[in-house]
Structure 1
């Protein structure tokens, strides 16, 4: 069926899709957005002030609700009903799908760290992976625009791993907790510097959103819009222009092409009715997440695109990367029985440890390339099903020990950069389909020695810092056992990699596919590398920049 009421069709409503729609509609371009999940209104649905004690299993996770009953992702997770995926032999990979309007922005950690000049030109520095087809300075002003629009709190520190924002861009950060100041002192003994975490949480009211109340977990969603999610910001702002139409429960089956191989629209399944729908579109933007966009492209085969749409390079599905993850924590005796007070803040760490070893790597002193950072878990938190401590006995004795140990545990969460390798990729499993008959993704995964050595270094460093605080850490786990599974950090990127050479990349620097000039990718699939920082800020920054470029092409009649 033909539809001429829009100029651009966007698949996906998360960080990339919503930002692209916002920028296009702001510039007068009419946009139709398709979302595979259900409609979602966090202002009406978020149980912000419910307590863990009110939730099933006291708010802890289970196989049906990965992050607990109150997590904002109500229908998604690593396992989604009717939507299987498969894995090659000896592979363990976890693929998260949100399946709701707003995608993963409804429940993400909201850490918003810029990639640096080191990150964009990693191959130039150490010979591994691929460089991005632009430099940090080409995108710095777009980071400023994105941070301003999104509302990122933090501070400029001059740290080489944290590029400064322009003056006035960042909102004020919350004060550091006592436990974080203790970590800072202990890390300082090792020559390691802490810094305020940059986080997409408002500490000042902005547009249609209120400032944070420091009163409830951001992972539940945010009915006042203080914790950034596209459902309380970019999507309603885009709708207010009158240029955005949204269709939910629309599972895209394929991108359609004509006999010449040119993109002419999409076909999708109306999940409510089971109806197959065809839409014509002058321009299509895929922003369904790195692996979902790649699945759509690989399933969009034709005589002109026999290996999948826009896949003449053979790179779609390749270069799959996730962040590394590992955890180490301990009881800190000095924090036992400390005075009680409100340490909620914006619920996540106010200080963290950025990567500090660029010089050591340049000198060849480390046995792995790239870097990692530490996120700190500490402070007085609302108790759930589990309380840290070594409890003996029962009754009053256990209660007294729980009170004394409350707030005395500090945990380090390592998040590191992974390099692409030939063992990590996704393709299509031709023998398995989802409920709607669409062939599913199949994953192949293996960590390399680079990641294993990185985790070993991180565990050893975390032990030193914990020991400096008086903790008894004991023997460290084997890094091959400590490293979390592929996909578990939910930072998968690289499956439709950008570049400056059509023979080894899928898109150019604008997210425009080399093979189809009216097909764009605007999610993390285009990342040329996977720096250790949360990828969402860069997804949005690229989507804003690339949608601005696309809008200009449309207005000039070039698209």
Structure 2
């Protein structure tokens, strides 16, 4: 059942804020342990199997905008990313000189509905980077602490891949991987000549059945739309909804949490939230509170949760809440493969993501920057959408007639259509996604001069890339150019230079922000202990990416869920011991 308004008299064992990767996992583990659970989601309910929510297998022309993005759906009209970097009535501010774009998801399942489902474990080195390069801090836990939970996540959710035996790219329990598509074969050729390794990707789509509750991938290449067969991983369909069916879980949608409430002793007593439907404030009570609202939103809630016991915000006696926020680095490059002009048409959709990828392969001691990046490959013949053909003025110059002259077709009408058909499926692109160095000076704080439309003070961001990330982006561009050239591609555009930070994406644009409530052994320099329990409030826990001490060159989702599962096991034990 789903509630929009609940009386303030209702009490639960646990309140969970957020329904994404961490919140969804917490709802499953805690409810199945017999605890009563309330899940508060700031957005709408969502189920991709319901016709009113389904966008999968709908052609672009069914959209009033032919698939174009909107303010609330920035990736496209049929992409399941409801929210965005700019939400009406929900602003955030930036300090002078700061570039940071904050993505919020406003739907059950959060960001897991539309992500690339790149499902990678952090490796042993990723937890101990300071010991390796002297930068940042080590985690208070190591790979061995999370390995049992990575194993559980693999088996519960399903991830395809191959066993490679790479030390810092740990193998897991894999479903059969997919064969590379034609554009990926060209990428493999270029990577081999450039001495860059490439292995089957590791994505959380089911290539084989793992239970009776979910279907198997039918290769429509539209995982960004969320799967009506539940064959890909989304928190709502794989974690939260099954938990609601099996355990005592109440879901509150359109519930914008203002603060964690506390008593005179400083313990959490529940949450205060604004109901977006009637714009009234309500309170729920619980014996424990679990925050999984996303790294920055969780930090915002904690800093806004001020009381006599917590004058700087709950869990913030150290002043570390909001500090060390950092996003993955990102840069891209694309080329055209002349060999594929006028290519034969056939269905090669595959999954909605890459079939192959490159893990970090070099020794940073021999480079001028610390940490690494992986490479994602894209291209092929996915369904055309809004924007197809917009770059034809640039691309047409690569089309030649039988005499080697530029395309004689015009820039509109029938000639344009002919050129688009000739070039469809010829592009090969790659994206680097890398690890940045956490900085104390990169942080978010409460802007006491600005509130959102619910009357809640908003976040203000302070962020700058360092030379480490800029040099890493330069290395990405050099690598992309070499692979594309060796693959036989004609490079598109001008190679990004120092004036653009080598194409380095604006912080926040990769949507991998972590580290605002980081864990640590010292309460003076961290917010949480190694169990993701607040140093200052022992019945308050965090299960999103906030506890991360560092990001790694991998996507964070698998680590969010493994860490959330480990945290929830600890919570259950504390309930059994009557410590909560």
Task: Give TM-score scaled by structure 2 length.
Answer: 0.92
Q: Does 1:447 align with 2:465?
A: yes
1:393-428 residue CA offsets vs partner (Å, 9 max, x unmatched): 244443333222221110011111111124311000
Which of 416, 424, 447 matches 1:398? 416
Report the 3-state secondary structure (helix = DSSP H, G, I; strand = E; otherwise coil) of the residue aligned with 2:194: coil
Q: Which residue of 2 aligns with 1:320?
A: 325
How do 1:464-483 and structure 2 match up within 5 A? 464-473=482-491, 475-479=494-498, 480=501, 482-483=503-504
Report the 3-state secondary structure (helix = DSSP H, G, I; strand = E; otherwise coil) of the residue aligned with 1:283: strand
2-structure distance, mates of 1:442, 1:156? 43
Answer whether contact 2:72 2:87 (CA < 8 A) is retained. Answer: no
How do 1:61-80 and structure 2 match up within 5 A? 61-74=69-82, 76-80=83-87
Q: Which residue of 2 aligns with 1:418?
A: 436
Report the 3-state secondary structure (helix = DSSP H, G, I; strand = E; otherwise coil) of the residue aligned with 1:59: coil
Q: Does 1:346 align with 2:351?
A: yes
1:281-315 residue CA offsets vs partner (Å, 9 max, x unmatched): 11000110000000000001122212111112211
Answer whether contact 1:48 1:216 (CA < 8 A) is retained. Answer: no
Answer whether contact 2:11 2:286 (CA < 8 A) is retained. Answer: no
1-structure distance, mates of 2:247, 2:25? 16
2-structure distance, mates of 1:216, 1:183? 19
Answer whether contact 1:331 1:408 (CA < 8 A) is retained. Answer: yes
Aligned residues: 551
Summarize the Cα distance change of 1:475–1:72 in structure 2 as closer, same or farther, 3 Å threshold: closer
What are the ranges of 5 or more consecutive residues in structure 1 without an aligned counterpart? none
Which of 196, 215, 222 matches 1:217? 222
Q: Does 1:356 align with 2:361?
A: yes
Using the TM superposition, name which of 411-420 and 179-188 deviates more.
Answer: 179-188
Q: Which residue of 1 aligns with 2:63?
A: 55
2-structure distance, mates of 1:521, 1:88? 27
Answer whether contact 1:172 1:203 (CA < 8 A) is retained. Answer: yes
Q: Does 1:247 align with 2:261?
A: no
Answer whether contact 2:74 2:81 (CA < 8 A) is retained. Answer: no
Summarize the Cα distance change of 1:180–1:118 in structure 2 as closer, same or farther, 3 Å threshold: same
Summarize the Cα distance change of 1:269–1:396 in structure 2 as closer, same or farther, 3 Å threshold: closer
Moved over 4 A (4+): 1-5
Q: Which residue of 2 aligns with 1:194?
A: 198
Report the 3-state secondary structure (helix = DSSP H, G, I; strand = E; otherwise coil) of the residue aligned with 1:58: coil
1:8-39 residue CA offsets vs partner (Å, 9 max, x unmatched): 11111111011011011111111111111122
Q: Does 1:95 align with 2:95?
A: no
Q: Which residue of 2 aligns with 1:294?
A: 299
Q: Which residue of 2 aligns with 1:500?
A: 521
Report the 3-state secondary structure (helix = DSSP H, G, I; strand = E; otherwise coil) of the residue aligned with 1:43: coil
Q: Which residue of 2 aligns with 1:488?
A: 509
Answer whether contact 1:156 1:164 (CA < 8 A) is retained. Answer: yes
Summarize the Cα distance change of 1:51–1:119 in structure 2 as closer, same or farther, 3 Å threshold: same
What are the ranges of 5 or more consecutive residues in structure 2 without an aligned counterpart? 1-6, 397-408
Answer whether contact 2:11 2:285 (CA < 8 A) is retained. Answer: no
Aligned Cα RMSD in Å? 1.6
1-structure distance, mates of 2:578, 2:100? 44
Task: Give TM-score scaled by structure 1 length.
Answer: 0.95
Q: Which residue of 1 aligns with 2:404?
A: none
Q: Does 1:285 align with 2:302?
A: no
Q: Which residue of 2 aligns with 1:386?
A: 388
Summarize the Cα distance change of 1:22–1:184 in structure 2 as closer, same or farther, 3 Å threshold: same
Using the TM superposition, name which of 227-236 and 200-209 deviates more.
Answer: 200-209
2-structure distance, mates of 1:374, 1:344? 20
